[in-house]
Homo-oligomer: A and B are copies of this chain.
């Protein structure tokens, strides 16, 4: 069934538009961060004070990418790197008060932006999508 090949085009195209739409709204509303930086802030909020390796894993980024995103968040004073007392190789990434505040200030607006994509779709659609994407994801495990 060669036409199934189209899934890769559809996936790539849709993922890019989702990100582009969100970033466009972030810019219009002057959130001052990127979509990927937001994902890291949310991860920190949810799991709190992780090492970069753990944070990368939970957020689905690789470590070099996470390093660079954390660099940007540090320069915006939204997070800080703290020494890890039990392992001097690693850092603990910690939300600053400004970071906490940013999350509180943006959460509602960002939920609204995200939900724009879900118009005309329902619970069953979500379950389908989640199952199919997870299947693809595990089918392609390289390791």
Do residues B4 and A126 form an inter-chain contact, with CB atoms below 8 A? yes
Q: Report the minimum CB–CB distance from A59 to chain B (whole Å).
A: 9
Cβ contacts under 8 Å, A142 to chain B: 20-21, 24
| Cα distance A61–B88 in the bound complex, in angstroms | 44
Closest CB pairs A-B (n = 8): A15-B15, A21-B140, A14-B133, A11-B15, A5-B114, A128-B128, A13-B60, A117-B136
* A1-41 at interface with B (beta carbon < 8 Å): 1-2, 4-22, 24, 39
A2-B111, A4-B126, A136-B121 given as contacts; is B9 within 8 A of A60 (CB)?
yes
Name the contact of A140 in the complex, choosing from B17, B120, B125 (C-beta under 8 A): B17
